[in-house]
């Protein structure tokens, strides 16, 4: 099974709304673990595990909204970031 097939199967099983909620939950868990990591309360593996969870949910969201649309938005954001880096003297 490729990623798109897995994403479609997850959506078929749990539905779009549940996957939106799951994405929010995984992002919140990443936020929490990053705060704990900065304080030395968790190790790098905890952060990596949460990054993996968020990455999987991002894959599903990209699948849901359309990879071409998302890639276009990413390209715009990268251009903006590049411009900021080139114009900022600090």
Q: What is the pLDDT along the chain (90 residues), one digit of tens a residue?
A: 999 999 999 999 999 999 999 999 999 999 999 999 999 999 999 999 999 999 999 999 999 999 999 999 999 999 999 999 999 655
Residue with tokens 């905890």: 46
Whether the full predicted model's pTM is greater than 0.95, yes or no, is no
For residue 90, what pLDDT is reported? 57
Res 36: pLDDT: 98
Domain boundaries, the chain: 3-87
pLDDT at 88: 67
Helix orientation angle between 16-38 and 44-65, rounded to the nearest 10 degrees: 150
Q: Name the residue among 44, 74, 62 with its Cα closest to residue 8.
A: 62
């Amino acid at each position: 099974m490729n990623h798109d097939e897995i994403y479609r199967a997850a959506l078929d099983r749990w539905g779009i709304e549940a996957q939106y909620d799951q994405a929010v939950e995984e992002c919140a868990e990443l936020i929490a673990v990053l705060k704990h990591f900065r304080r030395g309360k968790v190790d790098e593996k905890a952060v990596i595990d949460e990054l993996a969870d968020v990455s999987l949910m991002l894959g599903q969201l990209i699948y849901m909204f359309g990879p071409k649309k998302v890639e276009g938005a990413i390209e715009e954001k990268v251009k903006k970031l590049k411009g900021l880096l080139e114009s900022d003297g600090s």
